[in-house]
Amino acid sequence: MYKRITAIFGAVIMAFIMVPADSVTASTSRYERSFNYGPAELTAIWHPLSSGRRPVVIMVHGGGWRRGTRESLSGHARFMADRGYQVFNLDYRLKVPWPAPRDDVAAAYDWIAARAGYFAADMSDVVLFGESAGGQLVTNLGTLGQAGYVFRGVVGMSPVADPRMAYEDGMKPDASDHDKVLRDAAFILAGECEPVACPNKWRSMASKTGAGAGDPPMLLIHSAEEWVPSKHSEQLCAALARYGVPCTVKVYPGNGHAMDVWNQSANDVMSFIDSVTLNSTEERAGGRALITDVLLGVAVNISTGDPNTMR
């Protein structure tokens, strides 16, 4: 009898272990599956069509354009899926010259859009989310202004929004080790071409370069003492503000970088995403939600709560 109970218990445990990644779970009623979208792979986490088309979050990991995988954002991707979003968590080509990594993110968008029916994805309601180097990719794509790309909003967690700024900071006599690592990463992204030799490439790598009317609102997150300074985002927000595009930089206490600031910023991030998409309570009530708590060209220091108009 004991052996029979043990065998049944073991079979039950194995059944849970062997559940395929793309099956629907009773607790969340959603699918999770990896796909090759061309240049690289992505993991899709989506709710079935029976629940209606839903807003989309496209997530892009960091790693200095040289390392990292989407696995680092897998928990955050599931968190957003549990909030009701169709989530696509991307890998992209690493150690390739600009603009190849940004082109990969655009290719993923095209791949998803071509299968929007399958994923019950509302491609008129897309938010880009990126951290560190991935933050540079999503903010840059957000300001590219390319026909056919419609984004409701962009979230950058410690985005390296201006790689030339990172390069120049890393060349200073008092540059930290982190500054030097980021300098070298930006140099490789530029195809190992100095700014003086390839000014147009370096200019195109800066997300502020393409800022214009019609760009999506942005929420950009930093910590006060981290190694990607908030001036990256402040300059981007200032460029967007000139065209009336809502953009906020929020700076939290401490020295956490990118997703290390998630626990402090998650409520602000999700409030922003909810407010700009059809997932908002106001939108469900029948009208496009106003973008709340997203200020025009303003940096907010969370430790004081005081908004300071950027210069």
Residue 215 has pLDDT above 50, yes or no: yes
Mean pLDDT of 91-98: 98
What's the whole-model pTM score? 0.85
Look at residue 294 and tell me whether its pLDDT is greater than 50: no
Report pLDDT for 4. 43
Per-residue pLDDT averaged across 116-127, rounded?
A: 97
Between 148 and 49, the more confident residue is 49
Q: Determine the Cα–Cα distance for residues 24 and 40; give it in Å rounded to an integer.
A: 25
Using left for φ > 0, alpha for ψ between -120 and 50, and beta otherwise, residue 120 falls in left
Residue type, 196: V
For position 16, what pLDDT does the model report?
A: 33
Q: For residues 29 and 185, give the distance between their C-alpha atoms in angstroms, rounded to a whole number.
A: 41
| Close Cβ partners of 123 (under 8 Å, ≥ 6 residues apart) | 56, 112, 113, 116, 150
Q: State the pLDDT at residue 301.
A: 63
pLDDT per residue as tens digits for the range 33-50: 999 999 999 999 999 988
pLDDT score of 280? 56
Distance from C-alpha of 57 to C-alpha of 129, rounded to nearest angstrom: 7
Q: What is the pLDDT of residue 24?
A: 44
Single out the residue of 115, 113, 133, 82 nearest to residue 257, CA to CA: 133
Q: What is the DSSP string of 99-141?
A: THHHHHHHHHHHHHHHTHHHHTEEEEEEEEEEETHHHHHHHHH
Say if residue 219's pLDDT is above 50.
Answer: yes
> How large a percentage of the chain has pLDDT more than 70?
81
What local confidence, expressed as pLDDT, does residue 298 receive?
57
Phi, psi of 307 (to 5 degrees): -75, 135
- The answer to whether residue 273 scores a pLDDT higher than 60 is yes
Q: Quick: pLDDT tens for 234-259.
A: 999 999 999 999 999 999 999 999 99
Mean pLDDT of 141-153: 90
Task: Using the predicted structure, report yes or no on whether residue 276 has a pLDDT greater than 80.
Answer: yes
Query: In this structure, is the dihedral angle defined by the CA atoms of residues 122, 125, 128 and 129, taken in order, positive or negative?
Result: negative
In this prediction, residues 6-21 reach a mean pLDDT of: 37
pLDDT tier at 290 (50, 70, 90 boundaries)? very low
Of residues 127 and 284, the one with the higher pLDDT is 127
What is the per-residue pLDDT for 25? 41
Cis check: omega of the bond before 173, within 30 degrees of 0:
no
Provide the pLDDT confidence category of residue 284 given band limits of 50, 70 and 90: very low
What's the rounded mean pLDDT across residues 185-200?
98
Identify the weakest region by mean pLDDT among 8-12, 86-90, 242-246: 8-12
Q: Give the chain as a DSSP string.
A: -HHHHHHHHHHHHHHHHT--TTSPPTTT--EEEEEE-SSSEEEEEE--GGG--EEEEEEE--STTTS--GGGGHHHHHHHHHTT-EEEEE----S--TTHHHHHHHHHHHHHHHTHHHHTEEEEEEEEEEETHHHHHHHHHHTT--TT---SEEEEES----HHHHHHHHTSTT--HHHHHHHHHHHHHTTS--TTT-HHHHHHHSGGGG--TTPPPEEEEEETT-SS-THHHHHHHHHHHTTT--EEEEEESS---GGGGHHHHHHHHHHHHHHHSTTSHHHHTTSPPP--S--EEEEEETTTTEEEE--
Per-residue pLDDT, 217? 98
For 169, 220, 229, 296, the CA distances from 232, given in Å and listed in that order, are: 11, 10, 6, 16
Q: For 152-174, write each residue's pLDDT tens digit.
A: 999 999 999 999 999 999 999 99
Q: What is the mean pLDDT of residues 186-195?
A: 98
CATH class of 25-309: alpha beta
Average pLDDT in the 72-95 region?
A: 98
Average per-residue pLDDT in the chain?
86
